[in-house]
Amino acid sequence: MSVQGFNPRTGQAFGAATASTTAAEVDAICARAQQAFAAWSGTSRDARAAALEKVADAIDAHAGELAAVADGETALGLPRLNGEIKRTSNQLRLFATVLREGSYVEATLDSADAGIVPPRPELRRMLQPLGPVAVFSASNFPFAFSVAGGDTASALAAGCPVVVKAHSAQPATSHATAQVVARALAEAGAPAGTFDIVYGTAAGSQLVRHPAIKAAGFTGSTTGGRTLFDLAQGRPDPIPFYGELGSINPGVILPGAVAERGAELAQGYAQSLTLGVGQFCTNPGLTFVPTPFVGQLAEAVGRTAGGAMLTARIRDAYTAGTQALAAHARLDAVGNASEDAYGVQPQLFTVDLATFAGDVQKYTEECFGPAGLIVTYEDVDALFALLGHLPGSLTASVQAAASDADNAAKAAAIFRHIAGRVIYNQWPTGVAVAWGMQHGGPWPATTNALHTSVGATSIRRWLAPVTFQGWPDAMLPQELQDANPMKIPRRRDGVLGLG
C-alpha cells in the first residue's frame, strides 16, 4: 500500500508514491517516542525553547523548497503558502516564549496550616507533560495545522514527543517538512524518538490506539474526527482526543450596518467567503441579514472567481453539498468558473428566517468550500429567538453600527455560548497566533470546548496536574521550590506573583 499526492490543477499524480507505514513500523516509532519521553520532558524549558527556535529557523531557511512542493499538492499558490510557512515558524517561536515565561505550568503553593478545618498540609501543584502525542495533519493548512503546525509545536513545548500522521493528500509536503523538523531537533540535541511521522489511514488508526500514545490532536472532517474520537475513547485506557471538526461560523449583519456601509460589507463578505476557495475552518457559511441586503451580497459573490479545491474528494463533497442546498434554498449567485481539474464555483443561497427555523439541523450542515447560506430576517427579535438554537461553532460574528449597539450586545450574549470566538465588525477568516486566541467551540466545532488549538494556551491540552504534598524543598521540581529559581509567575497562598 502507498499514499499518492495529486495536483489539484491538473488532477495528475504529483511526486512519487510514499509507502504506507506498516503496523510493525508504527509500533517501533511509538516505542521510540515512549523511550524519548523521560529525556525530552526532563529537558529544561530553556533547552526546549531553543530547540523550537532552531526548528523555526530551519523551516524559514527551507521555505522556498517547501512552498514549491506544497503548491504542487495543494494549488494554494506560492504567496499564500509562503505566508503560511512564516506563520508556522512564528508559532514555534511563540511557544519558545511561552516556555521561558513559565506561567503555563500553573505553579500553585499552599502553606501548611494546622489551625483550619480540616488541617491543611503543605501542597504544591503544577502541570506536567502527559506523554507521547499523536498529531493528525490537516489538508487545508499544509504547514500551520500540519506536520510542524500548532499541535506539534505546543506538544513539543509541553515536553511531549510527537508522532505525526501525514495527511494522505500531501505525502510529499509532509515528508519534506518532517525531514526539516527531525534534522533541526537532532541538531538541537533532542533525544531520538522526540519526533516522527507515519503515512496511511491504517497507520493513523493504529496510532490513536497505541498504548504509548497519551493524547491526540486532529483537524479535519466531522466524520473522520468522530471515528478517531471513538477509537480514543474505546481504548482500554481512554485518552484525550482534541479534534477540530466542522463549523458554520454564523454571522449577523444588523440594519444600521447595512445602511452605513452596505457596499463595503458585501465586498468583505464575498472576499471572506471565497478566501482560499472557501477552504477555511472559519469560513462564514451562515449569515443572517436584513431582506433588502441580499441583492448587494449576490452581486458581490457573482463577481468572485472559482478555484481548485484541495482534493477530488473535497471537490465532490462540495458539489454534493451545494446540490443539497439548491434543493432547499434559492440560488442567488454563482461566481466565475474554474478550469482546474478540482475546480469549483462560489455559490450563494438564500432562505427566509421562518423557513430556516422549520429545519435548523438541515440548514446548518457544513458545506466546506466557497458556498454561503444567507438567511433573511424582518424582525430582529425573531432572529434572536432563533440564534441560541444554532450548533456550536469556532466563531460567531456581528456587523453593527452605533445605532445597533443594543442589538449587537444581545447577539453577543447569545453567541458567547455557542462559539469560541465572538467577533465585532470583522470577518471570521484568519486566526491570529497569540496569547488571547481561542480557536475552539462546542460540538461539532470541536470534541472539547474547554481548549484551543491555536495560541499560547493550546499547550494546556498536553499537560496534566500533579500535587506534591509534604516533600522537602530540595526534592521538588524547580518550579515549586521556595526560592522560585526559575522566576516564573506562581500563586502562593492564593496570591498570584513571582513569590
Q: Which of 244, 366, 367, 479 is catalytic?
A: 244
Q: Which of 160, 281, 366, 479 is catalytic?
A: 281
Q: What are phi and psi of 477, to 5 degrees?
A: -55, 150
> By the 8 A CB rule, do 212 and 34 touch?
yes
Q: Rounded distance, CA 315 to CA 169, Å?
A: 13
> By the 8 A CB rule, do 248 and 366 touch?
yes
Q: Rounded distance, CA 94 to CA 156, Å?
A: 12
Confirm whether 281 is a catalytic residue.
yes
> By the 8 A CB rule, do 105 and 479 touch?
yes
Q: Rounded distance, CA 206 to CA 208, Å?
A: 6
Q: What is the DSSP string of 210-263?
A: -TT--EEEEES-HHHHHHHHHHHHHSSS---EEEE-----EEEE-HHHHHHHHH
Q: What is the DSSP string of 137-155?
A: PPSSSTTTTSTTSHHHHHH
Pairing of β 215-219 and β 286-290: unpaired
For residue 479 the three cell numbers come to 518550579
For residue 98 the three cell numbers come to 511561552
Nearest to 408 by CA among 259, 261, 266, 255: 255
Q: Rounded distance, CA 94 to CA 24, Å?
A: 36
The β-bridge partners of 399 are: 253
Residue 106's SS3 state is: coil
Q: Rounded distance, CA 409 to CA 399, Å?
A: 11
The β-bridge partners of 251 are: 287, 397
Which residue in this structure is represented by grid cell 466524520? 223
The one-letter code for the residue type at 437 is: M
> By the 8 A CB rule, do 351 and 50 touch?
no
What is the Rg, in whole angstroms, of the alpha carbon atoms belonging to the chain? 24
**How many other C-beta atoms lie within 10 A of the C-beta of residue 441?**
25
For residue 228 the three cell numbers come to 478517531
Nearest to 334 by CA among 369, 290, 310, 299: 299
**How many other C-beta atoms lie within 10 A of the C-beta of residue 127?**
19
For residue 117 the three cell numbers come to 478545618
Q: What are phi and psi of 321, to 5 degrees?
A: -65, -40
Residues acting as catalytic residues = 244, 281
